[in-house]
Amino acid sequence: MHALLWMIPAFPLASAAILAFFGKRISHRAAAFIGTASIGLSALVAIFMAAGFLRSTPDSHAWVQTLWTWMGVGDFRPEIAFYYDPVALIMTLVITFVGFLIHLYSVEYMRGDEGFSRFFAYMNLFVAAMLILVLANNLLVLYVGWEGVGLCSFLLLGVWYKDPANVRAANKAFLVTRIGDTAFAIGLFLLATHLGTLDIQELMRRATAQWPAGSGIAIAAAALLLGGAVGKSAQLPLQTWLPDAMAGPTPTSALIHAATMVTAGVYLIARTNVLFTLAPPVQFAVALIGGATMLMAAFSAIAQHDIKRVLAYSTMSQIGYMFMALGLGAWSAALFHFMTHAFFKALLFLAAGVVIQAMHHEQDMFRMGGLRFELPLAFWSFIIGGSALAGLPLITAGFFSKDLILWQAWAGPNGNGGFWIAGLLGAMLTSFYTYRLILLVFYGPEEREVSHRPGFCVIIPLVTLCALSIVGGYVDTPPDFGGAPIFSDFLGSVLPALKQFHVGPITELSTALCASASFAIGFGFAYILYAPWRPRTRREDPLLRLWHAGWGVDWLYDRLFVMPFQFLVHRTGSDVIDAIYTGIAKLADSAARALRVTQNGRVRWYATGIAAGFVVLFGIAIFVR
């Protein structure tokens, strides 16, 4: 069975190659078919594999397929190998399934676009790279996928490259994530030189054996890996690229900048959890970064006008929850939230795409309104996806996953009351900005007429994701609500199990009740401030403006890094070393000008030149010798 493992990433990769080489020669219909069917096939294989894995789980809880040895340098022999365990199983299922739905959606969303087959080629390449990332048995192969998804993110942001704003966003996303990637690469060098291997399982074994907990080297390695994760997952302090990344096509935002790629950092930390357990300060830093990003992004989301930017900040905030869970040692809670988040955030983005298309590519929420009768599908998608995001108690997936994180924020190995309160505050803000969005877009007076209604290819993904956003949570319910922790148990073979480490006044039930209360408070505030009958005026307020600009981090980085750099560039533009090289060029130029005079076209001049040259050479030969 596990011999088929390579096929999961191979289908999208092959399709990407076909579309890249023959994309111009085949029709849009064929390109759409190839692009979508390859992901569909890959999803089928993934389901097949998952079924087989569940039916006959091997004793080691993992299947390993070694394809070939990549290179052999002394003892360092990284292999191209895939590793399939419960974590990889969940990741592949989510990626292929959500990826398939988003591809299907893009068939309609991108219809008639100039770069149609190019778009599908990039999307397929992205899915292939992401699958390689999650299936890699080896940090080096993982890094290939890691860079691959970064590249595809860059390419997909630049699909509409004729608009300079998109190109700027693509460059920014690429450069900012590059900072993290560099840290990650240095981390890999450190691990490879100190432990002699990059095979993840072997690495974890050797790390536990050789490095005492809290040793400097373990802290350095974990911190460098964290740097990579922070860049890719848009956490503090490298979060600035994600809001700008909304310049890309909406399906791209849904697939890459919400459901899959940005959670690669979460996956990386969960995968190397042993290393982070060996470095408690770094693990605590993960929790702090997650918590801070979660709150900061939630405040920013409150002040946004652009529908996609609200969702972008909300994505940052939700990944902040995942990081917080990772930092608190609630590994499986983070992955659970990853899964439900992939469903409801993809749903929200796709529904936002429907709204944007219907509004002639208008993205300002204050210019929308009253769409609930015009676009009932998008409305219900937003209600379901938004409620899942906000954590509507008991019926939505988001409630269960967030509740697990909140409970672990108190009860987990590193939990304390501060994280618990921060989490609840975040939940309240989430509920507020979600319903603010829904009230602004779907209620109130109708602002303009609808130009485009969703077709078949859009309805299927939306309905499927709606269903998943509701039932996705029932795979792991807390003891007080049925109590079936299937998901955590399933991951228990790979990740340390969730236990109650802190017994105290806060219990599972009270957490759930407080989460429900913060949901209700957020909803109530949103309803009071943005009620349908209220006039829709943008509030101008220094604080709101600060939040709107994402706490001014962009401004700060501009001052701190970009402007000094440009100043240096400007100053060193004409320094001494440069002058030497320009001087050489100028000399050659003027010499050419001078010598050009001798090319006058008169034969006798040339003959004179030859004769004179001969005399000079002859003289040198006779007298100088």
Partner 1 sequence: MLYLAVSLFALGLIGLLTRRNLIFTLMCIEVMLNASGLAFVAGSYRWGRPDGQIMFLFILAMAAAEVSVGLALFLQFHRRAPELDSDSASRMRG
Total residue count of the chain as it appears in this document: 625
Report the nearest approach of partner 1 to the CB of residue 615 (Å).
10
Structural contact between residues 410 and 338, judged by C-beta atoms closer than 8 angstroms: no
The whole-angstrom separation of Cα 244 and Cα 143 is: 24
Q: Quick one: 539 or 602, whose CB is closer to partner 1?
A: 602
Q: How far is the CB of 611 from partner 1 (least distance, A)?
A: 6
Kindly state the smallest distance separating residue 10's Cβ from partner 1, in Å: 59
Provide the 10 A C-beta neighbour count for residue 36.
24
**Distance in angstroms (rounded) separating the CA atoms of residues 471 and 87:** 20
Q: Which residue's CB is nearer to partner 1, number 591 or number 607?
A: 607
Closest contact distance (angstroms) between CB of 603 and partner 1 is: 5
Report residue 558 as tokens.
């501009």
Q: Which is nearer to partner 1, 193 or 599 (CB)?
A: 599
To partner 1, the closest distance from the beta carbon of 116 in angstroms equals: 49
Q: Min. distance of Cβ 604 from partner 1 in angstroms?
A: 6
Give the nearest distance from C-beta 589 to partner 1 in angstroms: 22
Shortest distance in whole angstroms from residue 570 CB to partner 1: 45
Distance CA(78)–CA(199), nearest Å, equals 7
Q: Which is nearer to partner 1, 576 or 603 (CB)?
A: 603
The first and second tokens of residue 106, run together, are 């893009």
- For residue 565, give every residue at least 6 positions away whose Cβ sits within 8 Å of its Cβ, in sequence order, or none: none
- Say how far apart CA 407 and CA 424 lie, in whole Å: 10
Nearer to partner 1, 164 or 601 (CB): 601
Smallest gap from residue 605 Cβ to partner 1 (A): 9
Amino acid at 412: G
* Cα 19-21-24 angle, rounded to 5 deg: 70
In angstroms, the CA 26 to CA 593 distance is: 53
Selection from 299, 297, 310 nearest residue 437 by Cα: 310
Q: What is the DSSP letter of 58?
A: -
Crossing angle for the helix pair 376-390 and 508-529, nearest 10 degrees?
140
Residue the block writes with tokens 């009253």: 370
Tell me 484's DSSP state.
E
Provide, rounded to whole angstroms, the least separation between the CB of residue 593 and partner 1: 17
Separation CA 323–CA 230 (nearest Å): 9
For partner 1, give the closer residue by CB, 587 or 615: 615
552: left (phi over 0), alpha (psi -120 to 50) or beta: left
Q: How far apart are CA 389 and CA 179, in angstroms?
A: 30
CB of 624 to partner 1, least distance (A): 22
* d(C-alpha 599, C-alpha 402), whole Å: 83
Which CB atom, from 27 or from 608, has the smaller least distance to partner 1? Answer: 608
56 or 600, CB closer to partner 1? Answer: 600
**Segment holding 84, helix H or strand E:** strand 79-84
Nearest residue (CB) to partner 1, 561 versus 614? 614
Q: State the pairing for strand pair 79-84/63-69.
A: antiparallel
CB of 71 or CB of 610, closer to partner 1: 610
- Give the residue with the Cβ less far from partner 1, 71 or 607: 607
Distance of alpha carbon 8 from the chain centroid: 20
Cβ count within 10 A of residue 579: 11
Residues that bind partner 1 (CB under 8 A): 600-604, 607-608, 611
- Looking at beta carbons only, is 25 or 604 nearer to partner 1? 604
Cα→Cα distances 502→333, 409, 463, Å:
17, 10, 41
CB of 623 to partner 1, least distance (A): 19
Residue closer to partner 1 (CB basis): 563 or 607: 607
Task: Using DSSP, state whether 377 is helix, strand or coil.
Answer: helix
CB of 591: closest distance to partner 1 in angstroms? Answer: 22
Comparing C-alpha atoms, which of 55, 84, 82, 3 is closest to residue 494? 84
